[in-house]
Amino acid sequence: MNKVRIGMIGYKFMGKAHSHAYRDLPFYFNLDTEPVLQTIVGRNELEVKLASEKLGWHSYDTNWRRLLERDDIDVIDIGTPNHTHAEIAIAAAEAGKHILCEKPLAMNAEEALKMWKAVRKAGVVHMISHNYRFVPAIQYIKKLITEGVLGEIYHFRAQYLQDWIMDPQFPLVWRLRKEISGSGTLGDLMSHSIDLARFLVGEFKEVTGMMNTFIKQRPLGEMAGGLSAQLSGEQLGKVDVDDAVAALVRFENGALGVFEASRFAKGNRNGNRIEINGSKGSIRWDMESMNTLQLYSEDDPAGMQGFRMIHCTEDVHPYTANYWPAGHIIGYEHTFINLMAEFMRGISTNTSPSPNFEDGYRNQLILDAIDKSSASGEWIKIHN
C-alpha cells in the first residue's frame, strides 16, 4: 500500500469535509494508495491545534510554506479563501507536490491559466474539488446521456439556490468581499452548475448574464464554520459581490442553457438542481434528494409515460457498490470520498482526473464572461 501524505491548508467547512473523506476513503474503497493525514495548516495556532485533534491529523503548522520544504508531504490540499489559491498552488507545483484545490480555482481566468500552466510544467497531479460531479446519480446521468437514452440534448437548466445571508445583520464575511472571493454566488454556486453542465452537455459557446446585490452594506465579521458567522463589531462595510446571478448560454453542440444562482432564495438551504431535456427523454436531479433522479423516457409504453424516480443506490450505479446494500443511502460527505478516490487513483497512475485545473480554467473563463456581460449587457463568446 502506497502512503500519500497530505498537507492540508484550511480547517473550517471544507477542511472538515476533506479530512473526513481522507479518513473514510480506505474504509470503503480498495485502492493501492492510502491517504495519510500528515499536517493541517491554519494561521491561528490555537484553532488549528484544536482542528488537528478533532479532525484526526498527525500534526499542525501555522505556515503553509513550511510544508513545501518537507519530503514527507506528497499532496497540498487547498481549502483556503479564493484569493490565496493561485499563490499556494503555483508554489506547491514548483515544489513538486500534487494538488487538490477548492473551487472556484482562482480569482479570474488569467490567474487560473497561470495555475494550470504551473501544474503542467511541474508534471504534478491536480484536481479541483467540484464534489457534486461525484454524486452517483450525476455519474449515472452522464452514462445515460453517453448511451443516448436522452437522445440529442436540447436544454440544460440549473438552479443553485441558498438563503443563508438573507438577514441584513449577517456579517460581511470573506465570501462577500470581492478582493478575497473574486465574486459572490457566481463563483461560489454557479461554478458548480457550470461544472455539471460542461461534464454532462459539453463546452459553452457564448453567454450573457445579469447580477444583483440586494443588501449593499453589512456589519463586519468572519465565517465561524459551516455557513455560520460571527460579528466583529458595529462597523459597516460594502458588499461588492453578487447576491444573485442569472445566465443564458449557448453550448457548442447547439443546446440552450438557463442558469440561476442565488443566496436570497428563502427556504432553499442547498437547492442545487438540474433538468436536462433531450429528443428522447428528460432528467431531473436535486441535491437535496441526491440519491434519486427523475427520468422521463419516450420508450416507456403508452399510458405509462411520466417521470419516474430511480434510486441510484443499486450496485449498477457508479460508486454505490463501495458503500451499502441497495436502498441504503449515502450523503453529502460521500461525494468528497468519491472525489478523493479519483484523486488517489490519479496519483497512482500519474494522471489528473477531471475536473482538474484545465476544467477549473475553462470554468473560470465562463465565470469571467458572465461577470463582464452582466455589467455590459452583451453576449460574450467563450474562447475554449
By C-beta, is 108 or 297 nearer to ligand SOE?
A: 108
By C-beta, is 182 or 281 nearer to ligand SOE?
A: 182
Tell me the closest approach of the beta carbon of residue 129 to ligand SOE, in angstroms: 8
**Interaction between residue 33 and ligand SOE (CB under 6 A):** no
Name residues contacting ligand SOE, limited to 264-323 (CB under 6 A).
Answer: 270
Q: How far apart are CA 15 and CA 102, in angstroms?
A: 10
Residue-wise DSSP of 112-146: HHHHHHHHHHHT--EEE--GGGGSHHHHHHHHHHH
Tell me the closest approach of the beta carbon of residue 370 to ligand SOE, in angstroms: 17
By C-beta, is 162 or 363 nearer to ligand SOE?
A: 162
Closest CA to 247 of 384, 368, 111: 368
CA distances from 296 to 144, 299, 306, 307 (A): 12, 9, 6, 4
Tell me the closest approach of the beta carbon of residue 189 to ligand SOE, in angstroms: 6
Grid coordinates representing 162 are 441558498
By C-beta, is 93 or 245 nearer to ligand SOE?
A: 245
Its sign, for the CA torsion 280, 285, 290, 294, is negative
Q: How far apart are CA 10 and CA 43, in angstroms?
A: 9
By C-beta, is 97 or 103 nearer to ligand SOE?
A: 103
- Which H or E run contains 158? strand 153-161
By C-beta, is 97 or 192 nearer to ligand SOE?
A: 192
By C-beta, is 76 or 135 nearer to ligand SOE?
A: 135
What is the per-residue binding string for ligand SOE in 173-192, x denoting contact by CB under 6 A? ---------------xx--x
Q: How many residues bind ligand SOE (CB under 6 A)?
A: 7
Q: How far apart are CA 257 and CA 255, in angstroms?
A: 7
Closest CA to 6 of 32, 36, 51: 36
What is the per-residue binding string for ligand SOE in 204-243, x denoting contact by CB under 6 A? -----------------------x----------------
Tell me whether the omega of the peptide bond preceding residue 104 falls within 30 degrees of 0, making it cis.
yes
Q: Which position's Cβ is nearest ligand SOE?
A: 188
Q: How far apart are CA 236 and CA 259, in angstroms?
A: 32
Tell me the closest approach of the beta carbon of residue 287 to ligand SOE, in angstroms: 8
- β-partners of residue 5 are 36
* Strand order from edge to edge, sheet including 98-101: 59-61, 33-41, 2-9, 75-78, 98-101, 126-128
By C-beta, is 145 or 190 nearer to ligand SOE?
A: 190
Tell me the closest approach of the beta carbon of residue 192 to ligand SOE, in angstroms: 6
**Interaction between residue 139 and ligand SOE (CB under 6 A):** no
DSSP structure class, residue 151: -
Tell me the closest approach of the beta carbon of residue 173 to ligand SOE, in angstroms: 10
By C-beta, is 315 or 333 nearer to ligand SOE?
A: 333
**Interaction between residue 162 and ligand SOE (CB under 6 A):** yes
Q: How far apart are CA 20 and CA 110, in angstroms?
A: 32
Grid coordinates representing 138 are 450525476
By C-beta, is 118 or 239 nearer to ligand SOE?
A: 239
- β-partners of residue 76 are 7, 99
Tell me the closest approach of the beta carbon of residue 191 to ligand SOE, in angstroms: 8
Contact 140, 338 (CB under 8 A): no
Question: Could you tell me whether strands 153-161 and 271-278 are parallel, antiparallel, or unpaired per DSSP bridges?
Answer: antiparallel
Tell me the closest approach of the beta carbon of residue 188 to ligand SOE, in angstroms: 5
What is the per-residue binding string for ligand SOE in 48-87, x denoting contact by CB under 6 A? ----------------------------------------
Tell me the closest approach of the beta carbon of residue 85 to ligand SOE, in angstroms: 13
Q: Which residues bind ligand SOE (CB under 6 A)?
A: 13, 162, 188-189, 192, 227, 270
